[in-house]
Chain A
Amino acid sequence: MSSKALLGIVAAALLLVLPLLGVDDYYLHLLIMGGIFFLLSAGMNLLLAAGQLNLGHTAFFGIGAYASGLLSLRFDLSPVFTLPAAALVSGLVGWLLGMVTLRLRGAYFVLVTIGFAEVIRLVATNWMDLTQGPLGLAGVPPFNLGAERFALAGKRDYYYLMVLLAGATLWVTARLLRSRVGRALRAVRENESLAESSGISAYHHTMLAMVVSCLLAGAAGGFYAHYITFLSPELFGFQNTVTMAVMVVAGGQGTVLGPAVGALVFTFVPELLRMAAFYRMLLYGVILLLVVMFMPQGLVFYLRRLLASGTPAPGEPTSDGAAFEAGAAAPAPDPALSLRDVTVRFGGLAAVEGLDLDLARGEILALIGPNGAGKSTAFNVVTGFQPPDAGRVHFVGADITAEPPYRIAERGLVRMFQRTSLFPDAAVLDNVLTACHRLARTGLLDVLLMTRLHRIEEQRLEDRARAILAFVGLSHKGDELARSLSCGEQRLLGLAIALAPAPSVLLLDEPAAGLNAVETGRLMRLIEGIRARGLSILLVEHDMKLVMGVCDRVVVLNYGVKIAEGTPAEIQRHAEVIRAYLGSGDALARP
Chain B
Amino acid sequence: MLAELVQHVVNGLILGGGYALMGMGLTLIFGIMRVVNFAHGELFMLGAFFLYTLFSLGGVNFFAACLLAVAGVALVGAIVERLILRRLRDQPIEIPMLAMVALSVIFQNAAILLWDPSPKTVRHPFSPVPLTFGPIHVVAIRVFAGAVAVALIVGAHLFIQRTRLGRAMRATFQDTDMARLTGVDVDRIYMFTFGFGAALAGASGALLGAVFWVYPAMGDLAALKSFAVVIMGGLGNFPGAIVGGLLLGVAESLGAGYISSGYKDAIGFVLIILLLVWRPQGLFGKKGLSR
Contacts and interface: CB of A to CB of B under 8 A. Distances in A.
Interface stretch (B91-99, B118-126, B164-172, B188-196): B91-99
B266 interface: yes
B38 interface: yes
Contacts of A20: none
Interface stretch (B54-62, B105-113, B147-155): B105-113
Interface in A430-468: none
B102 A288 contact: yes
A110 B93 CA distance: 11
A293 interface: yes
A177 to B, nearest CB: 17
B269 A119 contact: yes
A245 B98 contact: yes
A285 interface: yes
A17 interface: no
B231 A249 contact: no
Contacts of B235: 107
A126 B266 CA distance: 11
Contacts of B97: 245, 249
A289 B102 contact: yes
A242 B38 contact: yes
A245 B104 CA distance: 14
Contacts of B75: none
A106 B273 contact: no
Contacts of B262: 122, 125-126
A122 B259 CA distance: 14
A242 B108 CA distance: 15
A109 to B, nearest CB: 9
B136 interface: no
A101 B277 contact: yes
Contact of B88 (A114, A123, A293): A293
A292 interface: yes
A115 interface: yes
A178 interface: no
A104 interface: yes
B265 A118 contact: yes
Given A112-B272, A115-B228, A249-B94, A107 B109 contact: no
A282 interface: yes
- Which of under 10, 10 to 19, 20 to 34, or 35 or more describes the interface residues of A? 35 or more
B162 interface: no
Nearest to B30: A107
B106 A114 contact: no
B273 A115 contact: yes
Contacts of B265: 118, 122
Contacts of B36: 107, 110
Interface in A109-138: 110-112, 114-116, 118-119, 122-123, 125-126
A111 B276 CA distance: 10
B109 A285 contact: yes
A108 B231 contact: yes
A111 B224 contact: no
B132 interface: no
Given A115-B228, A122-B262, A123-B266, A296 B105 contact: no
A292 B290 contact: no
B34 interface: yes
A337 interface: no
A419 interface: no
Nearest to A189: B92
Contacts of B104: 285
Contact of A105 (B38, B84, B88, B291): B291
B152 to A, nearest CB: 23
Contacts of B231: 107-108, 111
A110 B36 CA distance: 10
A119 B270 contact: yes
A5 interface: no
Interface string B31-65: 00010101000000000000000000000000000
Interface in B240-291: 260, 262-263, 265-266, 269-270, 272-273, 276-277, 280, 282, 290-291
Contacts of A106: 93, 290-291
Contacts of A571: none
Nearest to A282: B109
A569 to B, nearest CB: 43
Contact of B98 (A105, A112, A246): A246
Given A125-B262, A253-B94, A115 B272 contact: yes
Interface string A220-249: 000000000000000000100010011001
B38 A289 contact: no
A293 B270 CA distance: 36
Contacts of B34: 107
B224 to A, nearest CB: 7
Contacts of A104: 276-277, 280, 290
B265 to A, nearest CB: 6
A259 B46 CA distance: 33
B19 interface: no
B103 interface: yes
A108 B228 CA distance: 10
Nearest to A113: B273
Interface centre among A107, A242, A289 (most CB of B within 10 A): A107
The CB with the most chain A CB atoms within 10 A, among B38, B87, B105, B290, is that of B105
A108 B233 CA distance: 12
Contact of B95 (A249, A281, A285): A249
Given A111-B272, A249-B98, A282 B113 contact: yes
B113 A278 contact: yes
A518 interface: no
Contacts of A100: 273, 277
Interface in A265-323: 278-279, 281-282, 284-286, 288-289, 292-293, 296
Given A104-B276, A114-B227, 4 more contacts: A107-B291, A111-B272, A123-B263, A292-B95
9 contacts: A103-B277, A108-B276, A115-B273, A116-B269, A119-B270, A249-B94, A279-B113, A285-B109, A289-B103
Counting from the closest, the 9 A-B pairs by CB-CB distance are A285-B105, A115-B269, A285-B106, A289-B102, A288-B102, A106-B291, A126-B262, A105-B290, A122-B266
Interface of A: 48, 53, 100-101, 103-108, 110-112, 114-116, 118-119, 122-123, 125-126, 238, 242, 245-246, 249-250, 253, 278-279, 281-282, 284-286, 288-289, 292-293, 296
